[in-house]
Structure 1
Amino acid sequence: MAQRPIVAFAVCWGIGYAIAVIVRLPWMNLWLAMAAGMLYCAAMIMRPKGIVWLRSLLIVTAAAGVYGDHDARNRSLVELQTDEVSSVHFQGRIVTPVSVDGDRVSFQAEAESIAIPEYGVPENGGKGEQMQFSIRLLALEEQETARRWERGDRIELDGTLRRPAEARNFGGFDYRSYLRLQHIHWQMTAKGTTGLAVTPPESGEWGGWLAMRGIDRFRDRLAAQVDRLFPPDQSGFMKGMLIGLTDEIEPQQFERFSRLGLTHIIAISGLNVAIFLACLIWLLRRFGLTRETYLLTALALMPLYIAVTGASPSIVRAGLMAMIGLYAAYRNRLKDGLHIALIAGVGMLVWNPYYLLDVSFQLSFLVTLGLILGVPQMNKLLPIKHVKLRDALSITVVAQLISFPLSIYYFNQFSLMSFAANFALVPAFSAWVMPGGTAAMLLGFIWGTGAGWLGWLIAKTNELLFYVVEQASKPDAVQTIWPTPSPVWILAYYGLLCAVLALLQPFAAKDEEVAPEPMLYGVKTNKLPFLNRQTMNRYVLLLASLLGFVGLLWYGYDPERGAAEGRVQFLDVGQGDSILIQTLPGGHTILVDGGGTVSFRKPGDAWKERRDPYEVGRKMLVPLLKKRGVQQIDELILTHQDADHFGGLQAVLEHIPVRRFLFNGTLKPLPAVEKLFQTALEKGTELVEVEAGDTLQVDAGTALHFLYPLPEGAREGVRVEQDQNPSSVVFLMEMAGTRWLFTGDIGQAEERKLLNRWSAVTPGLTQGEALAPVAREPASSVMGAAQVSAVYKPVDVLKVAHHGSKSSTAEEWLRAWQPKHAVISAGVNNIYGHPNRQVLERLTSHGISVQRTDRDGEVQMTVRDGKIYTRTKLRP
């Protein structure tokens, strides 16, 4: 600590914050921080023995108190016993830029007064409560009205107040926690603009709003310049790269960059700051300004650049480092980049402790510190004499190694092409596209023709680079999927990485040292450098560290390898079905249906479409599967082709390898269904029809027995069927001594058909051949009479058909199967009224334990030692 006090302080401060995040004890508050601060001062004066450890402990304690106090104060002024109030009067001020996207307007506003007729006036009138607003527009003309709203405007409206949604699946995105880190605890929603009043600040209220509105307007003008200079398929990308406006980046384009680990190109970060400063200083020097003057001028303009580019944690970090560096250069004290980075980091954490939990902050600082510390060491290890090539390789290798664990923690994917893509493409974007695009954008204000020429050159370069990115991101073989690692795994990764790099340093090439001739040839000496004890110990430690590092990666890639339990996970995908099964003992992955987003758009509603509309497969299902380490789906079962069952599977097929696709042998005449099957064929997925009588032996302990649809003789091809519910795939799964019945959306008529078929073959087992279809894949066998008898027995778990609709789950159906547990998949407050009250009463009357995704969130059932253990996300 005495030699590197800034480093020691920053490390201890970060540890203190981390402890407060994990432990969260009530006595971790500002009083604790103040007491630790006073003891620290006393220790500095008295200097007792062990002062270094004592000071470190006190800094950790003070940091924990600061974070704990900050977190404890983050509470709502509006304390209600309900999650939603339908009539609330709000008066306040818009505090963020207003986003208009299709029929949705969103912004944040700070309350000046809140009135809730049912509950009265909150504490202090709710003054100071910041809320997230979402206004649904009712007419196209209202878009123009909303686009005139600005930061600082007063707003008054009546709307619905509700708590943000919490995660409804294990490991899913928690919007409530996300907004809480922004000190937001409530959402306000309203319909249309006619029932609200938005007015600009009064003459005496402008204050800082004038500057903020000016920055927003200038940013909008820059965005307009980009729109004018670049084609539509590039303008969103360039806005993200140049001024931090990422809302308009095409989703497919962003996905390609994400698959290659190139999204940092789009994000505003240190590279943008470096280019901005280089261009600014070059320009100021052309005007003949002295060194001191242009350094101070650049320092003064940096806050404006941070504000114009969006002030994300990564740009704030880079901007603060630049400002500290410029001031140190002005004072001729620019010596240590590590200290500059740590000062900026601690300053940001003191200002907002929640930065510690921000992925942008974490990646930005870790990669920056890694580059500062690691690149000089990596340069020594690379036997390359060309300095620029060696530096480029070192920067790419170090950045990849440092960012890897956080990348798989947050995004659960890593491309084997990432290194090559970063090494080849980042220089092109950073050396030409970014500075050239910035120059064209600014030049457009004074010389439109010249800006157009330069923009054309940049656009042509982008076309080539985008093509390379598209082709490089296509092969599925280079994409790896990683389950979310634990914090302990991440710490072990960095620890072993540091150990390996440290142990490699003595073997680094030393250009200035030439070994003497006897040592080179082993002549005239008995001391061989690779046989002495110290070197041998180092070899042993290096080998152990390398093996530990490789073993850690092997474990992290599939931590569930050899797990002694199976899982059936009824995912909450809203009003739809999706069930993830991981079998025992083989660990095979089965996905039954994929949910889907049902659209009720009418002709003429095109203006309501958003730039990146919500799609359950891409936004929820695929990220969830990746978080759980699903690297391949062995069996994808589509029970039937209604949108709330197949919609999310398009994204699944595009992002996760699927070995076999099982369906009911029909085709619904919809473009989306045709695209789904076409994608499966293009990906090399085997398409297989199933019907009653087929049996698939998944592994030694798991078998699927298909009970429906009933066979209709030899088929001459896939038949077209509009009404899919009556043709739903019904199958029974036997896994490790447990029995599960999955029913799709069949109705009571199909239930009776199936039961009648059962009663027809069960007595005497003489008609079992009636269930025997034409033998084909995937049936590892065709059920005969004995198997029919074995299959049609009581089950442990029933997946209730058709989301609990009154048209399914008849009395005789329950009597026949006698389930112990039932699971209903339905959306919260769905328009169909699922699950039906009579169905619930029927299940209860049979003594069946019922779990519902609309009430309980995800329902996870684990099979261990022949028993079923249940947990739900929302109700323990």
Structure 2
Amino acid sequence: MRKLVWFSLGFGAACCLCAYVLTGSARIALAVAGGVLTIFAAIAGRKYTWFRRVAAILFGLAMGMGWFTLYDGFYLSAAGAMDGKTANAVIRASDYSYETAYGIGVDGTVQLDGKPYRLRAYLDLDETLEPGDVISGQFRFRATTPKENRTYHAGNGIFLLAYQVDEVSVSPHAGAPWRDLPARLRHRIQEILQDCIPKDAAPFAKALLLGDTTGLSYGVDTSLKISGIRHVAAVSGLHVSILFALLTAVTFRKRFLTALVGFPTLLLFAAVAGFTPSVSRSCIMCALMLAALLLNKEYDGPAALAFAAVVMLTRNPLVITSVGFQLSVASVAGIYLFAPGIRKWLGSLFPDGKGKGVRPTLICWFTASVSVTLSAMVFTTPLSAWYFGTVSLVGVVTNLLTLWVISFIFYGLAAVSLVGAFWTAGAMILGKIVAWPIRYVLFMAKTLAGFPLAAVYTRSPYITVWLAAVYALLLVFLLSRSRRPGVLLCCATLGLCLALLASWAEPMLDGTRVTVLDVGQGQCILLQSEGRTYMVDCGGDSDTETADIAAETLLSQGISRLDGLILTHGDRDHTGAAENLLSRVKADVLILPPEEGMPTSDNAKVVYAGQDLLLTYGKTNLHIFTTDSTGSENENSLCVLFDTENCDILITGDRSAYGERRLLHAGKIPEVDVLIAGHHGSKNSTCEDLLAAARPQTVCISVGQDNLYGHPAAETLRRLEDFGCAVYRTDRDGTITIRR
């Protein structure tokens, strides 16, 4: 069976190469080469045993290349052909709709060339759609599968995004087909949990039992991430293992009874959870465990993991791009590879940990919990750092203090759901009981996440280098014959201290530092000089992601408090993330334009700029210019002139040429070194008069890639070129940092 493990490595590597690197003929050539090399390796394997493993890997590589090529050519091609097209379509909703910023979104299926494809539709409707509803109309399609613009949806089996173009008609569902039952059951459980669990615990309850994180506040979600237990709020293998333990307990491990109850229960749970990659992987492995129990065979964990991965990659090769799939497989692989060794080493530290009694039992629980957590983190930490930019330093402690109670919460929520279907009052009583352990988990997450250095962030290049060095040392440790875990731990700790020192010291070495953060279609700018830090605007494509980017950039520099946050005007792409940011990083003052609907916070003193303001410290002057215009919010944008000893920076918000000329007529604009282009490079902003007066050497444009507004406009770019400005754009250059 271990040959399957080696085969799965080759199969997975092939899918990964095809998904991220190879196209067309290169896939076919590598598949043929893999097949030929497999034959030679198999022949060599008759004499050298290790060549058999090489043959299995090469065979998996050849099969993976071939399968991905066939899947792409015969199935994904139809979805890819719809990319950018506008066409009439009939979409069948497969789930309940949810609210978006511009209407509703709903998952469904559409028929293309006689084959069904899952898609996500965004509609300009204010009604709630149910599973089975049929939406007919004209849509603009975007494929999620092409390598150059692939989105996370493809890894979850959603190959198209559909955007409503014209009026659509909705036909209500007829009856309740069996394929809609999981979605309806999930919706019913959500309603029961919402009604029967106290409000402060209900969002976490829905996240833990169903993976529905839409109700989690930004603060709670961030606390879970920083404390290292975000995985409990996404239905994963942990939840399936808890369910499996319950199944074996209630069936008394009777082979036939456990199998009779277990197989349909696992299938139903996976369906209700939406067949997410992590749940699917775990359910397949548990099903294999049931089959081994039924057939009285030995269960091989690594082989089961390999089988589950191959099955899922066969069903959808692009699942290799799913973060959930990668984290799920990586965590289990780490446990199988490293947990026994770590537990053995921890056990050696407690020589009195064997035997009976309270102390040996606690030691056994401690070593088992820590070894599983550490081993799971071996492969998942780099993935978390890559995808989320966060490395939790308190994750082991948080898992140790909270995971023991997760099983009780899961069972309690399952009981609430069952009782709530027949007796609401009884379910509410149970809900109040279950809420207390939930509050305990949330309290521990918030407390530990609030510790200094609870996490470090890879937005600092020094932390990235440190993490790479730690894994290089780990590799040396694993290859060496004389292994000293204490030395490895000391080296990692010393390296972390040096990385933190470098991260905190570097900004202080610059006289003036301007950072235009890449937040997509929005704006968020850091102004730093003489040890003080101000932020201008905080908004982007996503309120939560923008707040994360801003907060992690500050925290990675050792800054937990802003000297000031200035919001130029009320548009969401300039203010949407401000409240979330201030929940993590406090500010001495929050400066706002005198308009309604601006965000406020208890973590900052609020000042409304009804007239021009001047903040002076050392040799730095921070000018904030207002306007008496009665025009739009854009024309009323606050303007910021950051005047330091060696650099002048001008930010005009979203003002158009009219608002810019008003500043010029008031005589407020000197020559500057750096100009932040107005309104993300709109053709109506950054006018010739402003450029002629300010004469900026450098112009930065904060703009989202492939945005719907056509920013930056070609006219604006031509004007900047005519004036000889060096242009930097966040959509092309990422985060821009200027040091003087």
Cα offset for 1:319?
0.9
Q: Does 1:324 align with 2:324?
A: no
Cα offset for 1:232?
3.3
Cα offset for 1:133?
0.5
Q: Does 1:58 align with 2:58?
A: yes
Computing the radius of gyration from Cα coordinates, the structure with the larger value is 1
Cα distance in 1 for partners of 2:624, 2:422 equals 71
Cα offset for 1:752?
3.3
Cα offset for 1:92?
4.2
Match of 1:424 among 372, 388, 401: 401
Contact 2:156 2:276 in 1 (8 A): no
| Corresponding residue of 1:578 | 524
Cα offset for 1:17?
4.2
User: Residue by residue, what CA displacement relative to the aligned partner does 1:510-531 show, whole Å, maximum 9, x if unpaired?
Assistant: xxxxxxxxxxxxxxxxxxxxxx
| Corresponding residue of 2:135 | 155
User: Residue by residue, what CA displacement relative to the aligned partner does 1:539-571 show, whole Å, maximum 9, x if unpaired?
Assistant: 7x7677556544665677688786999985544
Cα offset for 1:227?
3.2
Q: Does 1:752 align with 2:665?
A: yes
| Corresponding residue of 1:819 | 696
Cα offset for 1:379?
2.7
Cα distance in 2 for partners of 1:222, 1:231 equals 15
For residues 39-78 of structure 1, the aligned pairs below 5 Å read: 40=38, 44=42, 47=45, 49-50=47-48, 52-53=50-51, 54-55=54-55, 58-59=58-59, 61-62=61-62, 65-66=65-66, 69=69, 72-73=72-73, 75-77=76-78
Q: 1:628 to 1:319 in 2, by over 3 A?
A: farther
Contact 2:517 2:550 in 1 (8 A): no
TM-score, normalising length: structure 1: 0.67
Cα distance in 2 for partners of 1:753, 1:197 equals 56
Cα offset for 1:261?
1.8
Q: 1:830 to 1:437 in 2, by over 3 A?
A: closer
For residues 14-163 of structure 1, the aligned pairs below 5 Å read: 14-21=12-19, 23-24=21-22, 26-29=24-27, 32-33=30-31, 36-37=34-35, 40=38, 44=42, 47=45, 49-50=47-48, 52-53=50-51, 54-55=54-55, 58-59=58-59, 61-62=61-62, 65-66=65-66, 69=69, 72-73=72-73, 75-77=76-78, 83=84, 85=86, 88-94=87-93, 96-101=94-99, 104-112=103-111, 124=113, 128=116, 130-138=118-126, 142-143=127-128, 146=129, 149-151=130-132, 153-161=133-141
Cα offset for 1:201?
7.0
Q: Does 1:626 align with 2:607?
A: no
Cα distance in 1 for partners of 2:709, 2:32 equals 57
For residues 281-430 of structure 1, the aligned pairs below 5 Å read: 281-285=248-252, 291-382=255-346, 383-384=349-350, 385=353, 386-400=360-374, 401-402=377-378, 403-430=380-407
Tell me the secondary structure at the aligned position of residue 91 of structure 1.
strand
For residues 438-449 of structure 1, the aligned pairs below 5 Å read: 438-445=414-421
Q: 1:185 to 1:298 in 2, by over 3 A?
A: closer
Cα offset for 1:252?
3.8
| Corresponding residue of 1:789 | none
| Corresponding residue of 2:581 | 652
| Corresponding residue of 1:534 | none
Q: 1:425 to 1:75 in 2, by over 3 A?
A: same
Q: 1:240 to 1:196 in 2, by over 3 A?
A: same
Q: 1:165 to 1:629 in 2, by over 3 A?
A: farther
Cα offset for 1:90?
1.2
Cα offset for 1:681?
5.7
| Corresponding residue of 1:771 | none
Tell me the secondary structure at the aligned position of residue 97 of structure 1.
coil
Cα distance in 1 for partners of 2:24, 2:386 equals 29
Cα offset for 1:343?
2.8
TM-score, normalising length: structure 2: 0.78
For residues 191-340 of structure 1, the aligned pairs below 5 Å read: 195-198=168-171, 200=173, 210-285=177-252, 291-340=255-304
Cα offset for 1:847?
4.7
Cα offset for 1:212?
1.4
Contact 1:92 1:156 in 2 (8 A): yes
Cα offset for 1:322?
0.9
Match of 1:730 among 632, 638, 641: 641
Q: Does 1:594 align with 2:537?
A: yes
Cα distance in 1 for partners of 2:643, 2:145 equals 34
Tell me the secondary structure at the aligned position of residue 137 of structure 2.
strand
Cα offset for 1:323?
1.0
In structure 1, runs of 5+ residues without a counterpart are 114-123, 168-173, 203-208, 504-536, 598-613, 698-703, 711-721, 759-791, 867-876
User: Residue by residue, what CA displacement relative to the aligned partner does 1:344-393 show, whole Å, maximum 9, x if unpaired?
Assistant: 23333333333333222222222223333433323322333114543334
For residues 570-719 of structure 1, the aligned pairs below 5 Å read: 570-571=516-517, 573=519, 576-580=522-526, 592-596=535-539, 616-623=542-549, 626=552, 630-633=556-559, 638=565, 641-644=568-571, 645-656=574-585, 668=594, 672=598, 675-676=600-601, 678-680=602-604, 694=616, 696=618, 704=620, 706=622
Cα distance in 2 for partners of 1:259, 1:582 equals 26
Tell me the secondary structure at the aligned position of residue 643 of structure 1.
coil
Contact 2:91 2:108 in 1 (8 A): yes
Contact 1:371 1:395 in 2 (8 A): no
Contact 1:416 1:480 in 2 (8 A): yes
Cα distance in 1 for partners of 2:145, 2:624 equals 37
Cα distance in 2 for partners of 1:494, 1:97 equals 42
Cα offset for 1:652?
2.6
Quote the RMSD (CA, aligned, Å). 4.9
Cα distance in 2 for partners of 1:447, 1:742 equals 60
Contact 1:379 1:390 in 2 (8 A): no
| Corresponding residue of 1:527 | none
Cα offset for 1:582?
7.9
| Corresponding residue of 1:530 | none
Tell me the secondary structure at the aligned position of residue 95 of structure 2.
coil
| Corresponding residue of 2:629 | none
Contact 1:84 1:162 in 2 (8 A): yes
Contact 1:594 1:647 in 2 (8 A): no
Cα offset for 1:265?
2.0
Q: Aligned partner of 1:33: which letter?
A: A
Contact 2:639 2:650 in 1 (8 A): no
Cα distance in 1 for partners of 2:432, 2:438 equals 10
Contact 1:795 1:819 in 2 (8 A): yes
Q: Does 1:799 align with 2:676?
A: yes
Q: Aligned partner of 1:619: which letter?
A: E
Q: 1:617 to 1:106 in 2, by over 3 A?
A: closer
Percentage of matched positions with identical amino acids = 24
Cα offset for 1:158?
2.5
User: Residue by residue, what CA displacement relative to the aligned partner does 1:671-722 show, whole Å, maximum 9, x if unpaired?
Assistant: 745x34x41369xxxx9x996694656xxxxxx5546659xxxxxxxxxxx9
Q: Aligned partner of 1:410: which letter?
A: Y
| Corresponding residue of 2:356 | none
Contact 1:725 1:747 in 2 (8 A): no
Contact 2:389 2:459 in 1 (8 A): yes
Tell me the secondary structure at the aligned position of residue 131 of structure 2.
coil
For residues 554-565 of structure 1, the aligned pairs below 5 Å read: none
Tell me the secondary structure at the aligned position of residue 480 of structure 1.
strand
Cα distance in 1 for partners of 2:517, 2:369 equals 41
In structure 2, runs of 5+ residues without a counterpart are 354-359, 627-632
Q: 1:332 to 1:571 in 2, by over 3 A?
A: same
Cα offset for 1:574?
6.5
Q: Aligned partner of 2:98: which letter?
A: V
Q: 1:320 to 1:650 in 2, by over 3 A?
A: same
Match of 1:433 among 405, 409, 414: 409
User: Residue by residue, what CA displacement relative to the aligned partner does 1:201-249 show, whole Å, maximum 9, x if unpaired?
Assistant: 79xxxxxx93311222233333333334322333332222223333344
Cα distance in 1 for partners of 2:567, 2:191 equals 47
Tell me the secondary structure at the aligned position of residue 651 of structure 1.
helix
Contact 1:13 1:63 in 2 (8 A): yes
Structure 1 range deviating more: 545-554 or 824-833: 824-833
Cα offset for 1:734?
6.5
Q: Does 1:481 align with 2:445?
A: no
